[in-house]
Amino acid sequence: MSRIGKSPINIPEGVQIHISEKNVITVKGKLGELQQSINPAITAKVEDNQIIVERKTEQKDHRALHGLNRALIQNMVTGVSEGYKIVQEIVGVGYKANAKGQVLELLIGYSHSIFLVLPDEVKVETVTERGKNPLIILTSHDKQLIGQVAAKIRSQRKPEPFKGKGIRFQGEYVRKKAGKAAAE
């Protein structure tokens, strides 16, 4: 991970970085503001419109933390300047999704609807076109949070290996198994 840690992070136009005395990095941009506390063994400084992340020692755990903290800072800078987008598709006959504000309603083969209240930082949109699988589109400036929300939605009905029904990420390949009829 130390090779990742050594490369500097370019600061795009319109992004402001503040590093406090307690190793808390605040990144502000057009899409929002994020904060991250970094390990005391790692130092970050702003030089020539770049963020330089350095470690204090060459210990193995410090080398790993160097790459980790650099990646976290890079994700924050990318998030507040460009944002992140995750698209999930719902595969199954009669499976539907509706978004009303920050509440996502899922009809995915259970006897009842599932209602998920999403955090304010994550914007949700659903697209239903005739002849295509319904889509859930999540956008946010926080990579960790959007990934967590997407995993929570997917966990409501994971793709099953026989027919492939369930909630999956767009472009995800689901390996299918042969049913018991193939065994005869």
Better-scored residue on pLDDT, 1 or 148: 148
Q: Give, in order, the Cα–Cα distances in Å from 164 to each of 91, 96, 116, 152, 160.
A: 7, 16, 23, 19, 5
Name the residue among 78, 75, 70, 84 with its Cα closest to residue 12.
78
pTM exceeds 0.85 for this model: yes
Structure tokens at 76: 């924050």
Q: What share of the chain is helix, strand, coil (3-state, %, to 5)?
A: 25, 35, 40
pLDDT digits (tens, 9 = 90+) for 124-181: 999 999 989 999 999 999 999 999 999 999 999 999 999 989 999 998 898 998 888 7
Q: Phi, psi at residue 75, to the nearest 5°?
A: -65, -35
Q: Is the dihedral of CA 115, 137, 75, 71 positive or negative?
A: positive
Give helix then strand counts, H and E, for the chain: 3, 13
Q: Is the dihedral of CA 58, 59, 62, 67 positive or negative?
A: positive
Question: Do residues 67 and 5 lie in contact, with contact meaning Cβ atoms separated by under 8 Å?
Answer: yes
List of domains in the chain? 2-81 (3.90.930.12), 84-172 (3.90.930.12)
- In the block, residue with structure tokens 């259970």: 110
Beta strands in the chain (DSSP E): 9-10, 16-19, 24-29, 32-37, 42-47, 50-55, 84-91, 96-100, 103-107, 114-117, 123-127, 135-140, 166-169
Q: Phi, psi at residue 183, to the nearest 5°?
A: -75, -20
pLDDT digits (tens, 9 = 90+) for 22-70: 889 999 999 999 999 988 889 999 998 999 999 888 888 888 899 899 9
